[in-house]
Amino acid sequence: MARDERGVTPQSEDFSSWYNELVTKAQLADRGPAKGTMVIRPYGYRMWELLQAALDQRIKDTGHDNAYFPLLIPESYLKREAEHVEGFSPELAVVTHAGGKELEEPLIVRPTSETVIGEMMAKWISSYRDLPLLLNQWANVVRWELRPRLFLRTTEFLWQEGHTAHADEADAMHETLQMLDVYAEIARDWAAIPVVPGEKTAGERFAGAVRTFTIEGMMRDGKALQSGTSHYMGTNFARAFGIQYLDAGGRQELCHTTSWGLSTRMIGGVIMAHGDDKGLVLPPRLAPYQVVIVPIGRGDAAEAVAAAVRDLAGRFKAAGIRAHVDDRPQVSPGYKFNEWELRGVPIRLEIGPRDLTNGTALLARRLGDAGKTAISLEGAPETVNRELADFQAFLLRRATEFRDSRTAGADSWPEFTAAVEVGWASALHCGQPACEDEIKAETAATARCIPNDGPAERGTCVRCNAPSAYGKRVLFGRSY
């Protein structure tokens, strides 16, 4: 298929190429100079800032305080929790020399911060009155990535990581599930991705955790994207780092800890959950520009149009709408229309001399077959706000219908293999990691989660016919 330099490979032809081309052509990100690293360009970083602001507010609303911990972690810290270091060792970047000398102890470039935060929690907690301790940090982390893909898997990425300490399991589990709900809300209400919250199987559990929970989103190729995780650590890290407290009776007790994180991977999720062959399709709440205004016309009328456009942009700003005026003289209106379609702007307005005379502007939506609609200039902010709300709701509805159409119950192995070819299979499973490994080897599908709201059901494993383990079905799918 012929494409100009702004076009992208159709999804149906090669979804991976479509994604890689779109990330760079829409000016979201570029590859960094070191292998696997990513440069987030202003357009992509603005999406992250909008997501970050919404999530940060909810983190604070649930009683957490932001802090910051070191990027460099002594190697001995990671070794204190054996399962944790074993799980991360293939991904670690290690500093052995600094200041022209070999270090006495190697330093690990932060892959996650359970260990260094655990060390500080042990210093800060002494009594039950110090609990719960609710911390969060916004930071970068480094995990050596052999198969990098911008936003989805990069050696360095941005995220928030929450770390909390509690007096008992019940309080820690409430925290774990509360933050999972926060993630699901952000994904649904801001990214318009209808994620499925659920628990990971033992074979997919975070290294060092007692229980791991996830939100899983379906992309437009039917694959799953793990979009945020929340972990109940039990007393594993408390025991390793001496995080303990005196209870009301004067007894020394170990704290129960949690950790939870959401990263720039969510931006990749937005791209893949909504984009089409024309480019990005951005949910209005995460769109750097919610509306682009393109002035039309030259000569004597151009100044009057420009003045009207400036006035309208000011009224949009006052109404809380992120508007951008594309008045570049060196490119045609048609070029601008195609470019902003590629970059996913939800609404485009065109204003020319005839529109100005009529007191109207032409409104074009990023999706839909309605064509262009004439709207009143006077009432444009109110009209555009309604359109943006409708578009946000439409994207969530469309993504939900797509997910449901690609999720099938599977009671036999042929049904299972057919389901994971195009989407997700909902099946009973024995819970044995060896069985999960066999499923992955044969189909490339993994256990995504045990849905929190799944109905109770028992039977035999879809693969090995052993008794099912979880009292409900498990979602399986191929993933990123």
Q: Which residues touch 142 (CB under 8 Å, ≥6 apart)?
A: 93, 109, 110, 111, 155, 156
Q: Is residue 472 part of a domain?
A: yes
- Do 333 and 269 fall into the same domain? no
Number of domains in the chain: 3
Residues 373 and 441 in one domain: no
83: helix, strand or coil: helix
Is 166 domain-assigned?
Answer: yes
Write down the H helix ranges in 319-432. Answer: 333-342, 353-358, 380-405, 413-422
Same domain flag for 342 and 449:
no
Give dist(CA 457, CA 168) in Å, integer.
Answer: 30
Tell whether 5 is covered by a domain: no
- Per the DSSP assignment, residues forming a β-bridge with 142 are 156
For the cut 90, the answer to whether the pLDDT of residue 80 exceeds it is no
Residue 285 resides in a domain: no
- Helix axis angle for 380-405 and 265-274, nearest 10°, is 90
Q: Let me know if residue 61 belongs to a domain.
A: yes
What share of the chain has pLDDT > 90, as a percent? 92
Domain that holds residue 438: 406-477
pLDDT tens digits, one per residue of 334-357: 999 999 999 999 999 999 999 999
Whether the full predicted model's pTM is greater than 0.85, yes or no, is yes
* Co-location of 302 and 188 in the same domain: no
CATH number at residue 215: 3.30.930.10
> Among all chains, which residue has been given the structure tokens 């204190």?
80
Q: Specify whether 176 is located in the same domain as 234.
A: yes
- The structure tokens listed for 158 are 């941005």
Q: Is residue 425 part of a domain?
A: yes
C-alpha span between 374 and 382 (Å, rounded): 14
Whether the Cβ atoms of residue 220 and residue 402 lie closer than 8 Å to each other: yes
393 within a domain of the structure (yes/no): no
Name 47's Cβ contacts closer than 8 Å, sequence gap at least 6: 28, 267, 270, 282, 286, 287, 288
Tens-place pLDDT, residues 262-311: 999 999 999 999 999 999 999 999 999 999 999 998 877 899 999 999 99
Q: Is 84 found in the same domain as 170?
A: yes
Nearby residues of 229 by Cβ (< 8 Å), 6 or more positions away: 200, 206, 212, 213, 214, 215, 260, 261
- The answer to whether residues 374 and 417 belong to one domain is no
Report, as an integer, the average pLDDT of 131-140: 98
Give yes or no: residues 297 and 269 share one domain: no
Coil, strand or helix at 37 = coil
Residues 6+ apart with CB under 8 A from 1: 10, 13
Say if residue 383 is in the same domain as residue 410. Answer: no
Q: Among 271, 167, 268, which Cα is nearest to 227's?
A: 268
Q: Are residues 306 and 256 in the same domain?
A: no
**2 located within any domain:** no
pLDDT in tens, 374-430: 999 999 999 999 999 999 999 999 999 999 999 999 999 999 999 999 999 999 999
Shared domain check, 246 and 111:
yes
